[in-house]
Chain A
């Protein structure tokens, strides 16, 4: 659980850290929209490369972002495989005849069981999983004797492959960009930036300051609550709760023993926080003076222009 990176600020020093949070927020939105509009294969790869370059240039550890992506990897690959298997539009680009016989099905099952048993000991789990998937198909393809139940074909269509690719790369780009934002921006700055960016909404009588405050407090408390959950699990484990095992009935009790203290502690924390804010004369909706005043630098103008140009360019390419 400690590996969850979303919403965590990591101190550092690079141009990304020096940028104004407003710039980063607007640029993030612009680039996200751009990522959704891109329709060419090469452009997609180029933008993925550019985002990676941004990481490297901004001196953010690529490993850290990769670790942040890892919990979502399963989702990404699931979407990918789902698309490839069931989207049957466009030209057929790959066919693999499959044989369903007693022997081949047993062999395929054996491969899956072997994967399940050994996956704990393998370092590159994802590659190992892909390797297993490939092995299952190879088994079904090559073992063609024994009692046949039927024949089938595994087809991959152009449309399916490209949709799968686009969805995956888009998601990766979006996650990377938002991770860059939260890693390089202090929660307080993010709050301030959000407040300013949302300011036009005041015209329609939306209290943007409060919304910004709510968002930033929520982000701020994600890691804290994860730490709390970890401590509660340890405390309950001392009382004989085995979070790894148990029947369904036990599982329910286990989850309750985690959730109840979690709720109580969350309410307590928010109560404390509210008191601490009030003790420092925080009144919702009242104008506040700032300790850190946002300053617009030349870097910001440059970065903002660049990302808006990127967005416009993508739109132009798409329309033309």
Chain B
């Protein structure tokens, strides 16, 4: 294990994160976060989603700006392809979450990263969403993530990074464990 954390820089402020962990141990209520997305239907399968505010550390927080996303379906679905499909956003989330985890864990372990690339693929049989076959599930039945990591560390250490990033990933957890989902009409 390296101990020269000062000399490496993956752009992750580990000191701040460790500080937050200590502070939250005293005030666990502040650790409850609520994330939000606001969705507006445009037309067909095209929607626009905005992400701006969220709740955490006991109060409403704001991103530095309002981020907007288009979601749609490709032309092979007889749609207009104004944006990625919702399931591709799930892959986006998984890739970003695991990659952020790799960077944070590498920083904490004193591993300098030079490049991290992830390729995420999700397989699904659309007979499920088309209601053609009740035995086919709607969602992904397989997701594969392939990392290519160039770092100042042994392969075993890099493998350990990838493993630890899964262990602490919110999106990985969401995809591999059930979640309560409540959908209501206002």
Q: Decide whether A and B are members of one complex.
A: no
